[in-house]
Structure 1
Amino acid sequence: MHPFSPDVAFAARDDHAACREAIRQGSRSFFAASLILPSRVRTPAYGLYAFCRLSDDAVDVEGGSFSALERLRERLAGAYEGRPNPVAADRAMADLVRRYAIPRAVPEALLDGLAWDAEGRRYETLDELFDYAARVAGTVGVMMTLMMGVREPQTLARACDLGIAMQLTNIARDVGEDARAGRLYLPLCWLREAGVDPEAFLARPGATPALKGVLARLLCEADALYTRARRGIAQLPLSCRPAILAAAMLYAEIGRELTSRYALDSITHRARVGATRKLALVARASIASPWLSDGAPIAPLDAAMFLIEAVARHPVRPLRGADNGAVSQFLRVLEMFERLERAERYGD
């Protein structure tokens, strides 16, 4: 069987239900945003999340062992070769990588990022941190974009921006938790510039003014990437924009909560967004998403170029059943009118 043949589905209904439960239990923010994805994207998105979560958990449970990583690489190979392990996430992954022509280099880069975690790698500069974030989070943005049927380089670049921004938010939120586990992701040069000795901080984590300044700087970088990412959301299918904008807004809100409510103390607190606020942000995203502007092209981050190039080199096969039916046709007409309206408004 050709690895990208659409003729066989490995995942059954129970598998999709298990993947849905994985995201419901693992990430309330992503689950809340996923509920407004169109079903044709929501189901494979659950499978992608479940596989990524399984991979992350497998490495964490075994203390970052390289044998665990090797088994993950074997499982990924099985998914691509049409022989997935008898696990819901693996069967779902086998379906989506061939259905959406996802280059193997993309999820392999995700596993590379997990390997860097296993090594306990630290990052001297922001650019080095971007290299890591592109692997553990930019890859997910690329795969999600491909599952929405979009392969344009500019859109993929903005998806990487969004993934990296979310990872920076995670890092800022989890500084205390990571430090207590002996992990440090903040740029080392930033810490030293602020007068924070990395080893002394790990030995005794504290929410000092100097550390808070580093966190504020990191969240500022994340906010700039969230702004860039909005241009890519405007290039997604109309039906997909609300969920992706909601995810971006929910994660950006974590940074704002950390700043305003917890005064940048992520050593003794873990910033969260309450359920009422989440609902408000999802509603706001649903209203705002049709009116996003893609603006002028922006160069991709250097850290993301290898992912965009991997997609450009990968052959694309027609997707069985993709974008068929009256609903999809209606959405295409809406998008056409939106482009015409924008052209009239801005003289494009």
Structure 2
Amino acid sequence: MPVPVDHYENFPVASWLLPKRLRKPVEAIYRFARTADDIADEGDAPAATRLEQLAAYHAELDRIERGETSSHPVFVPLAAAIRDHAIPLAPFRDLLSAFAQDVEKKRYADFGEVMDYCRRSANPVGRLMLHLYGDHDPRHLAYSDAICSSLQLINFLQDIAVDYRKDRIYLPQDELAAHRIGEMQIAQGDTRGLWHMMMHKQIERARKLLQAGAPLGRALKGRIGLELRVTILGGETILRKLHADPGCIFHDRPVLTKKDWGIMLWRGFL
């Protein structure tokens, strides 16, 4: 379950909080997600090439489903993790669907469209982690979805300027229009007019969604509970920074500092 920072760097890869038995499967899942995301985002390849490469990832998942052997360096360890832990394939296909959408879709008409993207780009990560821990409680899955979607929304807010340079805007178009904010304002880093009001609406919605899933941090025991509590605190920390300066995304993108991590870990143990 990601803390809102760059890319998938926050994915708990071999974290000291993870039980040793789960480090290899989490590393395999991370490598799949990171490399697929890079196909969609990195380099100068044309859209058609990116989609072909993502289609090849889909084909590798199909090979795993059929019980066939793969020689692909990403899918050899992933196949072992899927086999050893009976991991469902649907979350991986959802992730690929979201990455392919990033190649083709650059604007989102309303919040419903944004949340549909979050359902496929973020929620699968939390569901995969819960599966590895053997937790299939429907309430816990719903909490996890709320947390992961919130963290994705927070990441969108952190990366408004970064995403715009990639010709992507994840802020709902109808809400930008309601606040009389055009793309030129984002391009110029202009926070005049109703920018702060618009940002505070986005921040509060993300905060409520994060709070809706927060009970999961106490419901889960042991290391996963601690990791999740720290993750939630990370999201709250970024939201506080965004609320204090809604224009910081244009000049001082909010990130988690060493001091923040220390406070979050301390509070996570409480």
Would you call these one fold, judging by a TM-score over 0.5? yes
- Residue 210 (structure 1) aligns with: 194
The partner residue of 1:279 within 234, 245, 262 is 262
- Residue 234 (structure 1) aligns with: 218
Instruction: Specify the structure having the higher radius of gyration (Cα).
Output: 1
**Aligned in 2, Cα 1:83/1:233: closer, same or farther, shift over 3 Å?**
farther
The partner residue of 2:234 within 247, 250, 254 is 250
Q: 1:48 offset after TM fit, Å?
A: 1.4
**Structure 1, gaps ≥5 residues long:** 1-24, 289-348
Q: Does 1:155 align with 2:140?
A: yes
Distance, in Å, in 1 between the alignment partners of 2:27 and 2:127 is 15
Contact conserved, 1:125 with 1:187, CA < 8 A, in 2?
Answer: yes
**Aligned in 2, Cα 1:31/1:147: closer, same or farther, shift over 3 Å?**
closer
Q: 1:276 offset after TM fit, Å?
A: 2.1
The amino acid across from 1:40 in the alignment is: R
Kindly report which structure 2 residues correspond to 1:120-199, keeping only aligned pairs within 5 A, or say none.
Answer: 120-198=105-183
The amino acid across from 2:207 in the alignment is: D
Contact conserved, 1:33 with 1:246, CA < 8 A, in 2?
Answer: no
The range that moved more, 169-178 or 250-259, is 250-259
**Aligned in 2, Cα 1:212/1:180: closer, same or farther, shift over 3 Å?**
farther
1:158-210 per-residue CA deviation (whole Å, 9 max, x = no partner) reads 11111101100100000001112211000111101101124x34654433342
Q: 1:30 offset after TM fit, Å?
A: 4.1
The partner residue of 1:102 within 61, 67, 87 is 87
The amino acid across from 2:253 in the alignment is: R
1:108-154 per-residue CA deviation (whole Å, 9 max, x = no partner) reads 11111111111124222212211101110011111111011111111
TM-score when scaled to structure 1? 0.68
Distance, in Å, in 1 between the alignment partners of 2:134 and 2:105 is 36
Q: 1:28 offset after TM fit, Å?
A: 5.5
The partner residue of 2:29 within 45, 48, 57 is 48
TM-score when scaled to structure 2? 0.86
Pairwise CA RMSD: 2.4
Aligned residues, how many?
260
The amino acid across from 1:58 in the alignment is: I
**Structure 2, gaps ≥5 residues long:** 1-5
Aligned sequence identity (%): 23
